[in-house]
Structure formats: C-alpha cells, structure tokens
C-alpha cells in the first residue's frame, strides 16, 4: 500500500473531535480507505460518543502504514470501541484479526451489523466487555491497540498501562486525549516513547511504542514538540 505524505495533516483543525456529531453528520461514519473504502457505517446516538474524524483516521493510518510497512496480517484491538471506526478502518486496510470492546450493547450491536453487511470474516469479533477485565486474560497479543475512552473519565494512562501487557514488543498504542498529550512523567511511568503525535480541534492524539523497542527508534517530533524544546 502506498504511503502518502501527511505533514500537511498534522495539527489539522477541520473540526473538533469533542463535538458530539461526526463530520458527516450525526449517525454515521465513513471508512476512509482499504477494501471497504467509502462505506458508510451507521452510528447509534449516545451521549459522549465521539467518532474519530475522517481526517484524523487518515493521518493515523498513514502513520501506521508507514511504521509497520503494511497493516496486512496485523492484530488490532479497539478498547473503547464506540462507533467502531478505528477497528473498522484497521480491518478495511488489511488487519487480520480485530477485537472491538465496549460495555454498551447498542454500540456493539451496530458494529456487528456493520461487519455482517461488509461480509467480514470470522477474525473480526465485536464483544460486549469491560476492556480492563478483558485485558486481564487477553486471548492474544496485538500489533496495535486503540485507546479512546470517554474523556470525562480521564483514564488514558490507566488504559495504556492495562493495554501494555497485551501489546506485542514491536506494537503501538494509539491514545486520544482532550487538550493535552500524555505528560513526559506519564510516558516514563508507562515505559513508552511517543513516536508520532498530532492535534485536531481540542483533541490530541499520539502513537506510543515500548521503550527500547525498534519502533521506539522511529520517533519523529511534531512541530509543536519541536517548538517546545527550543
């Protein structure tokens, strides 16, 4: 899969991810690329649900494709699935196995319906489950784990810590946060390195790799981080 230039997308401000409605209007998300490109997936209306925008998904998956070389054969976990957009994007771009987790049955039912409509294979599982309990005895390890919990719960660090046990040595965590990236102190306590980061409206998003891994050697500072270090 060709890797696109994405520097123009970093710091994009097309719309705030904190707003309750996705860019295409309330009730749907569109898969950006891959075998299901342009497929529109219905999204249940729920308080606090923030489907990650197309612009951000395009940027993040360009990063992932560049860092992994390809997503084909990768295993992915969408911890707080919500609309399921991140896991669906991974599956569309070739991820071999994808797990979606959410405690809300309506959301998981919607993801299952989308998988049926898209004729997804048996390696795609949407589960009604608490992410932390699931990770205590995860059935496999993952190349990429998407972490986008409800912002009001402020559990990004807790979720990242729980996910690390199920992350492959050369895997990546995607973390979406309100206002600020994870602090340097938080990264150090987790034993991870920020490999990529960006922003969209009031939201910050980043890819994290285990310290000492090969992925950790592929750090590229954002413009914002470069300015802060001068």
- For the entire predicted model, the pTM comes to 0.85
pLDDT at 8: 37
pLDDT tens profile 87-119: 999 999 999 999 999 999 988 999 999 999 999
pLDDT at 153: 81
What is the percent of the chain with per-residue pLDDT over 90, rounded to a whole number? 68
pLDDT at 23: 37
**Which positions ≥6 away from 203 have C-beta within 8 Å?**
16, 17, 18, 56, 176, 177, 178, 179
**Domain at 26-227: CATH architecture:** 3-Layer(aba) Sandwich (3.40)
Q: Is the pLDDT assigned to residue 139 strictly greater than 60? A: yes
Angle (nearest 5°) at CA 170 between 112 and 124 = 10
Grade residue 7 by pLDDT with cuts at 50, 70 and 90.
very low
Q: What is the mean pLDDT of the chain?
A: 85
Which sequence spans correspond to the domains of the chain?
A: 26-227
Grade residue 68 by pLDDT with cuts at 50, 70 and 90.
very high
CA 195, 93, 178, 225 dihedral sign is positive
């Amino acid at each position: 899969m060709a890797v696109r230039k994405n520097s123009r997308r970093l710091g994009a401000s097309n719309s705030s991810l904190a707003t309750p409605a996705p860019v295409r209007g309330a009730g749907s998300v569109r898969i950006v690329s891959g075998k299901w490109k342009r497929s529109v997936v219905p999204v249940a209306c729920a308080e606090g649900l923030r489907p990650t925008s197309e612009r951000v998904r395009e940027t993040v998956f360009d990063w992932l494709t560049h860092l992994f070389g390809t997503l084909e054969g990768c295993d992915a976990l969408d911890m707080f699935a919500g609309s399921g957009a991140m896991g669906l994007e991974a599956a569309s771009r070739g991820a071999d196995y994808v797990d979606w987790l959410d405690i809300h049955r309506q959301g998981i039912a919607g993801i299952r319906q989308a998988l049926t409509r898209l004729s997804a294979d048996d390696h795609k599982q949407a589960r009604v489950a608490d992410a932390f309990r699931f990770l205590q005895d995860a059935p496999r390890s993952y190349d990429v784990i998407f972490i986008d919990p409800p912002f009001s719960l402020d559990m990004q660090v807790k979720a990242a810590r729980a996910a690390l046990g199920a992350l492959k040595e050369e895997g990546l965590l995607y973390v979406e946060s309100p206002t600020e990236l994870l602090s340097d102190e938080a990264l150090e306590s987790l034993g991870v390195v920020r490999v990529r980061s960006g922003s969209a409206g009031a939201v910050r998003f980043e890819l994290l790799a285990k310290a000492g891994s090969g992925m950790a050697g592929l750090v590229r500072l954002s413009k914002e981080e470069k300015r802060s270090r001068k």
